[in-house]
Amino acid sequence: MTETGNSGISRRSALLGVFAATSLAAAPTYGNAAGFLRGAGDIRRIRMYNGRTGESLDTIYWIEGDYIRDALNEINFFMRDWRTDQVKSIDTRTIDIVAATHAILDVSEPYLLLSGYRSPQTNAMLRRRSGGVAKNSLHLKGQANDLRLGSRSVNQMARAAISCRAGGVGRYSRSDFVHMDCGPVRSWGG
C-alpha cells in the first residue's frame, strides 16, 4: 500500500482549520464531511490497518479539489470483502466521513478496519450469525465501514462522526466499534 510522508501541515493548525471550517459548512447531508476537511489543507488522507489481512493503508486520496484515481483504487482494494476477495468502488462520501472523523479525533493511530465492502454472500452469512446485520446493508454498496481505534472510545468516535452530520453512525460498544456510512443522517446504538 502507499506510504506517504508528513504533509507539512501541523496537526494543531489542521485541527484548528477543521473547526474553523465547521462554521462555514452548510447542512446538506453528505457535504458536511467534505466541509470538515476543507480546513485540513489541500489534501485528504486516510490511514487504516486490516487485522484480517495484515494490510496497512496510508494514502493521500484527494489533492486540491481532485480525487486521485490510483489512490481510490488502492482504497477499494483495501476495503474489499476479504472473505470472497471481491472488490467494489467505495463511495467517496464514505471515505470523506472516515477521514473527517479521524481529523476531528486528532489521532495519528490508523483505524482498524473491521468491515468495509461486503459481498451479498458475506452479508447473508453474517445475517445468519447475528441479528444486527441489515438485509440491505450499505456495506453491500460500498457505502459503509465498521472501524475501531485503540486510543479512542466508541463514544468519542461516534460523537466525532455524528458532528459531521454526513451519514449514519452506529455505536457498538459491546463489540468495540463504530459504523460510519454515507446514507441518511441518523445514529443508533449505545
Residues 6+ apart with CB under 8 A from 85: none
Kindly tell me if the per-residue pLDDT of 105 is higher than 50.
yes
Identify the pLDDT of residue 72: 98
Question: What's the whole-number mean pLDDT along residues 162-190?
Answer: 95
- Other CB atoms within a 10 A radius of the CB of residue 65 amount to 6
- 115: number of Cβ within 10 Å: 22
What is the amino acid identity at position 39? G
pLDDT over 70 percentage in the chain = 78
Looking at the predicted structure, is the pLDDT value of residue 80 above 90?
yes
| DSSP state, residue 52 | T
Q: Classify domain 11-189 by CATH architecture.
A: 2-Layer Sandwich (3.30)
Of all residues in the chain, the percent with pLDDT exceeding 90 is 71
Q: Which residues contact 176 (CB under 8 A, 6 or more apart)?
A: 148, 154
- At residue 150, the pLDDT reads 95
Domain ranges of the chain: 11-189
Residues 157 and 138: beta-carbon distance below 8 Å: no
Q: Would you state the cell numbers that stand for residue 163, as one nine-digit string?
A: 458532528
Q: Would you state the pLDDT for residue 87?
A: 97
Query: Where is pLDDT greater, at 24 or 85?
Result: 85
Residues 6+ apart with CB under 8 A from 173: 154, 155, 189, 190
Q: What is the mean pLDDT of the chain?
A: 83
Q: Mean of the pLDDT values across residues 117-121?
A: 96
Q: What pTM value is reported for the model?
A: 0.78
In the predicted structure, residue 134 carries a pLDDT above the cut 80: yes
pLDDT of residue 42: 82
Over residues 101-106, mean pLDDT: 95
Residue 70 grid coordinates: 490510483
Q: Hey, which residues does 66 pair with through a beta bridge?
A: 63
Report how far residue 49's alpha carbon sits from residue 27's, in angstroms, rounded to the nearest whole number: 31
172: its cell numbers:
457498538
